[in-house]
Structure 1
Amino acid sequence: LEYKQQWRGGLLMKVNPQYTSQTCSECKHIAVDNRQTQSKFECVKCRYVANADFNAARNILAAGHAVLSAEGGCSKGRPLKQKTSDLREKVA
């Protein structure tokens, strides 16, 4: 992913994936029982139901945003909006 993001002019943030599949992306409750099957996530506290991978992806995205916010976000010389890199050539 890292080389592809550099190729496209994007930003790759590394976040700790620990408990992202057991944490509710709605209420942030963490429990092993939240994920009873490989594909289904159901929070035992707030009853939020989603695909387990979708729920984990939301948690990972939120963790990446938290890292950016703590580090000063886009003020580190990065553009506010990402644009595709001109290094990529169009394939005919």
Structure 2
Amino acid sequence: MTVFLLLYLCADGTRTDCQVVRADSWSGPYAYEQCTGVVPGLTKAMTASNRKRHRFVCEVQGNAAEPAEHKAPRAFIHQSFRM
């Protein structure tokens, strides 16, 4: 199993207009636990106003076959952000 740590950079607190940036990834049986273990520290390191707009999410990318109704994963776009 592979887990991606995604950073959702959102325009405002509604989190409806967001850019997704892959921040890190882990592989193996404990990948999800490793990812969720770093999220609180990263979130705490953000300023209070950024915590309201942006968020970190751990997303599992399984190796098993996906059901037919599964949507394709989002494409990651390389961009430079200044905060």
TM-score, normalised to structure 2, is 0.29
Where is the strand percentage greater, Structure 1 or Structure 2?
A: 2
TM-score, normalised to structure 1, is 0.27
Where is the helix percentage greater, Structure 1 or Structure 2?
A: 1
